[in-house]
Each structure stands twice: as structure tokens, then as C-alpha cells.
Structure 1
Amino acid sequence: MEDNNAFGDVRNSNYELTDFGGMFLTSAPHFCDGRTYPGLSGYVQWFKPVKPRPISVTLIHGGGGQGSEFLTTPDGRPGWVHDFLRAGFTVFVLDRPGHGRNSWNSEVLGPHTPYPDYETLYPRFVEPKASSLWSEAINHNQWPDHDPVAGDRFMASQGVMATNLVSAQKHVEVIAPQLFEITGDTILVSHSAGGPCGWALAAMGGPRVKAVAAVEPLGYPGLEHPLGVFENGLCVSQFSGLHDPYQRPIAFVTGQATWMRGANLRASKYLQEQNYNVTHFLLEEYGIWGNGHMLISEKNSSDIAKLIISWLDKEVGSTL
């Protein structure tokens, strides 16, 4: 694969593609007040290497984010898409309904949250040490602040989200059948508020979902979140899918400096107590230090992806 841009070490990716492209995942048109609108839709982008493994990887972004966060980091380094391609996986990148390439139409998707601002997101994602909103924030040192506009690029990627987590879950459940027709057998890698969506997709996909890597996923049983109460285990609402979303190898991945540590510990313990196959990676225990919540964007993001890939080789390697 040749690349003549100036984005870090992307030219050392050491893989070739046989195909890349994308497709909208659509539903029936929506009728309102005499007008016809496109129905609820998502978008999936794919990258297919030469001699791929038989199981793909599907990347699911968080709350107000989008799939592009997995392509390139805010300071221009190759994102997780490249790490998984180097490991031989076909990679699918999902823009959930109303995010990324899918514009938010309130007539179809319902109301959305306010547009994100620097004052809200910077203390949690970019400069947690400066704001010290939680005790672990003092350990944060992995944001790519060597690039003075990395924070601006991160903010440019952020958009609105549903005003409740029930809607966010139902949105991905609508597009799930089309998604799995494209991905085939796959491993779900979710981030943040994409975590509950990942469990909902696993319940829809059943045997097609071979493993789930939940990266700092939102939620634990009983959590009273501003966007909904977690009344269905690690989700707020009953699943539309008929399969057990936890009946497969599961990894939780949690940074040293994030506000998610306590929540992730409670979530992983909940599944472990039910004897599910769960591994919880507290990154500092594996020599990966200083990460905040935006693991996929920080300076050592590739090290985190490699840890997940190593776990996959161990847990589902016989089928890879």
C-alpha cells in the first residue's frame, strides 16, 4: 500500500487492500406532514486486505462521535483501522444513525442533545489533568498535545446524540440485520456510549458476533445516567435481538486516568459473577500508562489496539 501524505508512519502500514468502500444502511421512507423523508439510516465503510482472516472487525464509535475517529487520530497518525488491517482483519467502520455521514433528522430520529462545546468536552477528553474533575485525572498524559490543533480536530468530529439511550439503542437495532449481512462473522469493538449499542448489536447478531471488545463502555446495572437508567444489565432497554449478547469472549479496556474506571469495574464484575468469559484490561497493568477516555485518539493508541489484537488471537485464534 502506497501513501504519499505526511501523516506520520502511515506508509509503514505493510498491508495491501483488495477493496475499500462503503454503503448506507437504510430503512423504509418516513412520512410526516405530507412529506417523505429518508428513513432511519446508518453508514458502514469497509477496508479489505489481501488474504484476510475469516472473521472481520466492526468498529463502533461513541456518543456524539463518528467512525472517522478510527481512521486517523487528531494529530494525523494512523488510527485503529490500520492496526487491525496490519493484523489481517477486514475492517468495517460504522457511523451510527444520526452520526458521521448520516445527518440528524429529528423527524425520523427524534430530538437531540445540544451541540458540543469546548467548555464541556475539553475537561473530560483533552485536558482532564487541568480540570481535575475526578481523582485519576492527575495521571493523564497521553493526549497528543504536541499538535496544537489536535483538540480542535477532535471537537470538529463531535456532534449531537439522542436525548435518551433507549433511542440510541433502538436506532442501531433497526440497521443491525443489514449491517451483519455486510460484515459476516465479526468481532465488535465499541467505545464509550457505543458500548450499549454493541451489546444490542450482539443480541441481534447472535452467532455471527464472535467476540466483543468494549473500550471504556458506558453503563453498569442500575446506573442512573442523565440519558437513561440501566435497567437491562449493561443497557437501558430490553434487547430487540433474541440472543444472549454476553455469550462470547468479552474484553473491557480501561485507561489509567479516566472517569470510567469505577463504572467499568462494576460492569465487568457483573458479567464475571454470571460466569461469562470476561477479561478486564486495566491498561497500566500492561505497561500502558496515562490514558484518558479517548483511548482511540491518544499518543499510545496503537499499543492499545495491539493489546486487543493479542487478546483476540488468544480467545478466538482457532477461528481466525
Structure 2
Amino acid sequence: MGTYEIADFGGCFLTTPRHNSEGCTLPGTSAYVEWFLPSRRKDVSVTFVHGGGGQGSEFLRTPDNRPGWVHAFLKAGYPVYVLDRPGHGRSNWDSAVLGPATPAPDYETLIPRFVDVARCHLWPEAVLHSQWPATPAGNDDRFMASQGPMATRLVSSQRHVEDIAPALFELTGDTVLLTHSAGGPCGWALSACGGPRVRGIIAVEPLGAPGMEHSLGRFENGLCAADFGGAYDPYGPPIAMLTGEATWMRATNFSAAEFLRKRNPSFTHFDLPAHGIRGNGHMMMSELNSDLIAQLMLDWLETTL
């Protein structure tokens, strides 16, 4: 991948006003952000927003220890901010503040959907999955170790990121939101808060489509579950969506793409097999051809920004 020089790296917690519960004072909604600033950098940053019960570390390194997407964007000169959404990764889940969480996920639920997709064949396209790194041993364990609980309602996840949005944009400045999966609805909500700070959105297999019923709630507000807390048009910035060949997300992504195309004439939908990038499941940032996908996104940014 080559080398690059870092001028600064670090991290901090984004905090909100304290929360009082049963006579105790607790931290309010909080999130952790890690940053990497290349020495020669562009004026626009990239902010990574993870999905589901995941965390920002998914973008730093692949399960087989190759450089993750963060490195590709740094090499291209983008300041990078990696968010652990409230209650995820290094941001503790306090149910008194964030509400209830789902149980920790198990191998039986996640491995067939993310790792051993072709063999388990839970949906028609699953047989096409070929990009999960099979060696060295322990890749499945590393993936599972990164996964944790999440909010029991989509609305809650949306409100959590809306709470920390002002502090996030104060840190990132003008930024491109790069979201994944259940981080997709969070990205639209952040865009509605950030307005002109949001220079673009790259939605990697974002969860949701208008009217979609999900176990954690219904998508009542376009690509989100609830009305936006911010006042800006979340679909106004340049938007690109990526969809893999072997994922269960294909049908809902194409429905979401139709919704976005009507609201943003410059919207771009990258159906990866149409671009010669084949065999990807939902966790494409962790898969063998992750560098090819990173380059596709970087090329789009170079043209768009």
C-alpha cells in the first residue's frame, strides 16, 4: 500500500450534559473518536461510522491483519476520524442513559451471515461469497470479538448519534461520512445535523429502505426510523452507495437507491459486480479485495469533491 507520514494521531470522548438517575449523576450520551492526520492533508476529512454492534476498529485492520480502509484514505491525504458510536467499542453502554441493549451476539447468528456465507447459503446470492479471508486461523474469532450489543430500537441509535453530533462536527470540520450497515441510518441523521459540514456521504450497504420492517423498528422516515433531529436535508450532499454481490442487502439497497435517486440527481450507486469487484459479503471492509473497494470510493471522492 505504500507509506505516508502522520502529523498527529489520538482520540477523545465526545460528551453531553450529565444525566441524573435515581439520585446518581452519570455521564450523558458519550462516544469515542480516534483521529489520524496525515502530514500533507486535504481540507476535507473522512469520518467512519460503523454498523450494528460493531466498532470503529473494523476500519483499521482486517481480520487477517492487512491495513484497513483507514490507511487507504490516509495515504490519499484525507484526515480520518473513526467513531465508536455511543455504547460501542471504547464507549461504554450505560442502560440508564442509552436505554436497553440487545444481548451480545453469538457465533450461530453472525458467522452464517458474515463469514461462512457460501456454505450456509441463507439467501440466493450467498453462494457467490468468496472474499472472506480464510487464513490464518482465528479470523472468525477476531471478527466475533469486535461485535457487541446494540440498541433494541433503531430510533434509539438515531437519537444517540444526534446527541453527539455537535461535538463530532466541531472535531472533524468539513467531512465526508463513510457509513456501514446500521451506521447508515445514523449517517443520514448526522447529515441532517451537520448540514454544510457534510461534504459527501459514502453509504456502504446501509441498512433500511422506506417502509421496511426490521426487528428493531420500522423505517418510518425514508431511510431512518424517526424524524430527524437536525434541520438540514440529509440527502442533499453528494451521495454514493456500495452494494456487494453476495450480500442479503441487495434488494433493500436497490430500494434505497431508488429513493435517493429521486432526491439527489447526483446520487451514484456502485453495484460492485458491475465494476468487476465480485464475491463480497456484507463486511467488505474486512474482505480480501478491500483495497479495490477503497480505491473505488477514493476515485469517486476525487471526482466529486
When the two structures are superposed, what TM-score results if normalisation uses the length of structure 2?
0.99
Q: Is the 8 A contact 2:236 2:264 kept in 1?
A: no
Q: Is it true that 1:197 corresponds to 2:191 in the alignment?
A: no
Q: 2-side partners of 1:101 and 1:274: how far apart? A: 36
Q: 1-side partners of 2:139 and 2:251: how far apart? A: 28
Query: SS in structure 2 opposite 1:273?
Result: helix
Match of 2:214 in 1: 225
Q: Is the 8 A contact 2:179 2:206 kept in 1?
A: yes
Amino acid of the residue matched to residue 282 of structure 1? D
Q: Could you tell me which of 277, 280, 294 is aligned with 1:305?
A: 294
Q: Could you tell me which of 165, 185, 189 is aligned with 2:174?
A: 185
Q: Is the 8 A contact 2:210 2:219 kept in 1?
A: yes
Query: SS in structure 2 opposite 1:210?
Result: strand
Q: 1-side partners of 2:11 and 2:184: how far apart? A: 23
Match of 1:3 in 2: none
Q: Deviations over 1:241-267 (max 9, x none)?
A: 000011111011000000000100000
Match of 1:38 in 2: 27
Q: Deviations over 1:99-119 (max 9, x none)?
A: 010111111110001111000
Q: 1-side partners of 2:25 and 2:9: how far apart? A: 32
Q: 2-side partners of 1:126 and 1:147: how far apart? A: 14
Match of 2:72 in 1: 83
Q: Could you tell me which of 37, 41, 47 is aligned with 1:48?
A: 37
Q: 1-side partners of 2:265 and 2:137: how far apart? A: 43
> 1:57-76 to 2 correspondence within 5 Å?
57-76=46-65
Amino acid of the residue matched to residue 289 of structure 1? R
Match of 1:9 in 2: none
Query: SS in structure 2 opposite 1:296?
Result: helix
Q: 2-side partners of 1:184 and 1:276: how far apart? A: 25
Query: SS in structure 1 opposite 2:277?
Result: coil
Give, in angstroms, the shift of residue 275 of structure 1: 4.3
Amino acid of the residue matched to residue 179 of structure 2? S
Q: Is it true that 1:114 corresponds to 2:97 in the alignment?
A: no
Give, in angstroms, the shift of residue 226 of structure 1: 0.7
Q: Deviations over 1:7-42 (max 9, x none)?
A: xxxxx5310000000110001111111212111100
Give, in angstroms, the shift of residue 274 of structure 1: 3.1
List structure 1 segments (4+ residues) > 6 angstroms apart after TM superposition. none
Query: SS in structure 1 opposite 2:280?
Result: coil
> 1:276-291 to 2 correspondence within 5 Å?
276-291=265-280
Identity %: 61
Q: 1-side partners of 2:201 and 2:241: how far apart? A: 9
Q: Deviations over 1:130-155 (max 9, x none)?
A: 11110000000000012221110000
Q: Is the 8 A contact 2:235 2:263 kept in 1?
A: no
Q: Deviations over 1:29-62 (max 9, x none)?
A: 1111121211110011100001200100000000
Q: Could you tell me which of 283, 289, 296 is aligned with 1:294?
A: 283
Q: 1-side partners of 2:24 and 2:191: how far apart? A: 35
Q: 2-side partners of 1:231 and 1:29: how far apart? A: 30
Q: Could you tell me which of 202, 211, 219 is aligned with 2:200?
A: 211
Question: What stretches of structure 1 of length at least 5 have no aligned partner?
Answer: 1-11
Alignment RMSD (CA, Å): 0.8
Q: 2-side partners of 1:183 and 1:222: how far apart? A: 32
Q: Deviations over 1:153-212 (max 9, x none)?
A: 000000000000000000000000000000000000000000000000000000010100
Give, in angstroms, the shift of residue 281 of structure 1: 0.5
Q: Is the 8 A contact 1:46 1:92 kept in 2?
A: yes
Query: SS in structure 1 opposite 2:285?
Result: coil
Q: 2-side partners of 1:214 and 1:187: how far apart? A: 10
Match of 1:6 in 2: none
Q: 1-side partners of 2:100 and 2:265: how far apart? A: 36
Match of 2:86 in 1: 97
When the two structures are superposed, what TM-score results if normalisation uses the length of structure 1?
0.94
Q: Deviations over 1:263-296 (max 9, x none)?
A: 0000011111234321110111111110000011
Q: Is the 8 A contact 2:87 2:98 kept in 1?
A: yes
Q: Is it true that 1:128 corresponds to 2:124 in the alignment?
A: no
Q: Is the 8 A contact 1:95 1:101 kept in 2?
A: yes
